[in-house]
Structure 1
Amino acid sequence: MRATLIVAIVLIFMNASVLAQGQTLTLSSANIDPSDHASLVRGAKAYSRYCLSCHSLQYQHYKQVAKGLQLSHGELQRDIMITPNTHWTMPMNAAFSNENMKQWLGRPAPDLTYITKQYSPDWLYTYLHAFYTDPTQPLGVNNWLVPNVSMPNVLQGLQGPTQAIYSKSSTNLLLGVKVSGAGVLNPKQYDQFVRDLVNYLNYTADPSAEQRYNIGWWVLGFLSLFTMLAWLLKKEYWRDAH
């Protein structure tokens, strides 16, 4: 009991310290649309190209993706699979092994099947906009949302180089991140790219969510109709009751 109390007090003071430094970050709205099929397909392609080398989706299978996103076997091989030896019934495992990731980055890259459930779509969208150049870090980059991040900024070529914005009164007070050079995509295109990627990851965490949502309207309609009929039947039964 005493140990639990001590831990709670330490956490309270740690949070208070962070707030005192002013380094709070408001999450940006991802504005994803789970019903946007084109966005989901673009996001699946983006994930396959930029994320699947390191981050697996082990609870998702290529066959499920093909069925859910209405992709043919040929489209799946051309746009989603990363190696010719990958069979479409396999789970979406990362190309690099955990041993490779430990050797290169010091730790395995996490599986991202449920990343938007663990955090939120807005959190992930903000995270992919929060990288900035930091020569003091082993990989040369840092992240405003996750300080001392161990992940490289794999999307820097698309977004362009970024730099931190510090307070004039303190070099330790980080105010934001800005793009300092041209990338392959302009800011609007990069925002859409990240939105598609987050939309797909939100989908892959719960592929049947949209289907359940659509069925839910039919269920609500049936219950409403049943309630009205039950009320009319009750009214008819009690018409002659005194």
Structure 2
Amino acid sequence: MNRERFELEKKENIKQQATDVKLRNTVYDFILQQAEHNYTYNFTWLGMPIIQFPQDIISLQEIIWEVKPDVIIETGIARGGSIIFHSSMQRLIGNNGIVIGIDIDIRSHNREAIENHPLASNVYLIEGDSTSVEVMNQVKEFIPEGKSVLVILDSNHTHDHVLKELEVFSPLVNNGSYLVVLDTIVEDMPDHFFKDRPWKAGNSPKSAVKQFLKENKRFIVDRDIEDKLLITVAPEGYLKCISD
């Protein structure tokens, strides 16, 4: 089978699975059940904990390879696995790209683990509120004019915070790149899953995305990605920039 035929077959497979109601329900059941076991805590990237579904990691890899951004920005650092993942992808691309990680509280042991990792030389960590003027000024210092930017939002998951992040970071994203909002799945989960957190249905990353897209026409939801993944923390969260 040649590559062209393979790609056509793949598209048909994705189209069929996306409309398979039974499969969709099975995926939703899995997402509900895995949460009881902290399934996403099970994985590492080059020795660093990366708290994500493997499917989303693969999707980000595909996006980074396609876009080849000069700068990858992620809000929410946690234990640092995703920061090192982005750094490793920048090295594979070979364009001397950088990674900027932002968190309101970078724990000393996590900072140490990131900064001592073999792939940390192109990583810059900023501690502070990702929506603040001070943090944005620091971010802009690392982005030379004309460089391409990919942004991933994964910090505070409340509606107001994510909406503010969308507003302040979206101007940095260039045409053809992505603004990825993780944990939009919060909107689709029962509220008791987040009883010790402020976010829930109606106060979530997805509710923020919906409001943002009503007011910003530079971005659209890339539904082909979630149709392909099925298992994802970011339904309606892969936003593609379609204009300058």
Taking structure 1 as the reference length, the TM-score comes to: 0.26
Which structure is higher in strand share? 2
RCO comparison, higher one (Cα < 8 Å, 6+): 1
Greater Rg, structure 1 or structure 2? 1
